[in-house]
Structure 1
């Protein structure tokens, strides 16, 4: 009997959607995904219902993959402890206490399931895609995530936790972040933060499509709202560069990718913060576009597989 073709499975769990990618050893690739149902305004997301939905899609992907999994990597926006239990997730607080590794582990038997921060994994995937040993990745979506690769390795490293660049404070008097502090990068530059700022300036609700159209047309309320978010990202990027001398800044995430000129605006704000004798790194869009974390999850599955 011919042996089943093995594959590595990557799962990118986001605040609004989940993506799955199976890479077979023969080069075959399968991808699928789904969106979380909106949580009721009166209560946190139902973790049990979320997990049932996730498990159902993982089972469906595994059946379609028609092979044997030899490693599973999971990119998470939440904070997990060393054993894979969720300790904080502001966007879906009902998940706190969930043993994600345990839940997924029951589906795969002896196949190892490993979780890591989605921003860290995106940084690793972008570094590989760019053939760079040093870079800072900033992912802008429902929140602001990111990661740092230095000398080819993630900083601070899996054993010491994730790179929480979205929670660098850039404005002590700024708006309150989901984490409880004021003025975090995320409170200024995340997709929801930019949309709220645009709505205040416009005097009416603003959808992502509204913002993208208005930005393309050069409408002031849209340009100003986006520029403020980009300035916060640039401030964080310059601060990291001053400390670590990273050689490239990469801007990713679905929100950033969908807005015309977003990366160029961050680059302009970075250039504005330059000081004599200390050149700042170039700013480029993510090569993997919205798939950085997903590709990073597959890399985690491969590199954790023994």
Structure 2
């Protein structure tokens, strides 16, 4: 994890100690850039959000990040900010502070930590992949709490993940460990923007669930906007094409999860993100396919559950991870 400059939990809006230090958290993805000032109880004191500029060059995307930071800085409580935590779509290289998100083409080896440090006046900045951030949030006080070995995933515009092994986050040397979205599960499958073929993300992400349904003749109910959520709505109504698209996504997820569990012996998988909001439309076929892939005795009892931290998990996890990396006094991760 990259730290530059000098030396959170439940996603709520409750302040704790009015004088305690705060962490400025950033959650950067392919569709949105969110920010918050987070206190030591996980309370969100102030929030800001901008859409990620589609197809924007590096400067344009960074300008949106700076707008979010500027909105946080305009709050009087910014003076209590002790550090900045960033959870970014990956891959990231936390060892040098750069990001190259697959879904943000304007950023390739972009020195995000350096730019953010400049924007926040030299506060220490810690960078992790968004999957790691979500794992931090869910393990701290979410669905993976109490488990020493877990895979926490986000299935949304992309598919990412983070690992907890032996009771601690395991980000790996560059902050990308657990990036399940780019495990190949279909060797002759469609090309993925990462350069490989048949990646979990290319099959199971929201845009690809939608793409596959449309390619097979699906149309939304009642003239609704064509989205993955609309495909889920059609699946609930029994549309066979919509059901098949979710089933294919679930199969890809199951194959990637089983491979991961076999390698590192995880005991629980927590899945969040927009696609997970489909509920049993996703989880029922996922558990069914997983039973066919996770067959060895030490993975056959693997639990798969929905995330409970909601859409703020990335922010809460970025804050919690920064507090841990920087050892901030007053932030307990227990």
Please report the TM-score for the alignment, with normalisation by the length of structure 1: 0.89
Does the aligned pair in 1 maintain the 2:38–2:44 contact within 8 Å?
A: yes
One of 118, 122, 134 as aligned partner of 1:106: 118
| RMSD between superposed Cα atoms in Å | 2.3
* CA-CA distance at 1:224 after TM superposition: 0.5
User: Structure 1 residues 160, 14: closer, same or farther in 2, change over 3 A?
Assistant: closer
* CA-CA distance at 1:288 after TM superposition: 0.9
Matches within 5 A, 1:1-306: 5-25=20-40, 28-36=43-51, 38-39=53-54, 44-64=55-75, 66=77, 67-81=79-93, 82-86=95-99, 88-129=100-141, 130-155=145-170, 157-158=172-173, 161-202=176-217, 204=219, 206-258=226-278, 260-275=280-295, 277-278=297-298, 279-306=300-327
* Distance in 2 (alpha carbons) for counterparts of 1:27 and 1:225: 37
Does the aligned pair in 1 maintain the 2:251–2:289 contact within 8 Å?
A: yes
* Distance in 2 (alpha carbons) for counterparts of 1:154 and 1:27: 18
Query: Deviation string for 1:248-277 (max 9, x for gaps)?
Result: 011111222245532233122212334364
Does the aligned pair in 2 maintain the 1:252–1:285 contact within 8 Å?
A: yes
Q: Which runs of 4+ in 1 moved over 4 A?
A: 25-28, 158-161
Does the aligned pair in 1 maintain the 2:159–2:205 contact within 8 Å?
A: yes
Deviates more, 1:19-28 or 1:278-287: 19-28
What SS class does the counterpart of residue 9 from structure 1 fall into?
A: strand
User: Structure 1 residues 191, 274: closer, same or farther in 2, change over 3 A?
Assistant: same
What SS class does the counterpart of residue 261 from structure 1 fall into?
A: helix
Report how many residues are paired.
299
User: Structure 1 residues 287, 59: closer, same or farther in 2, change over 3 A?
Assistant: same
Query: Deviation string for 1:171-230 (max 9, x for gaps)?
Result: 101111110111111111111111111111225583234213202212111110011001
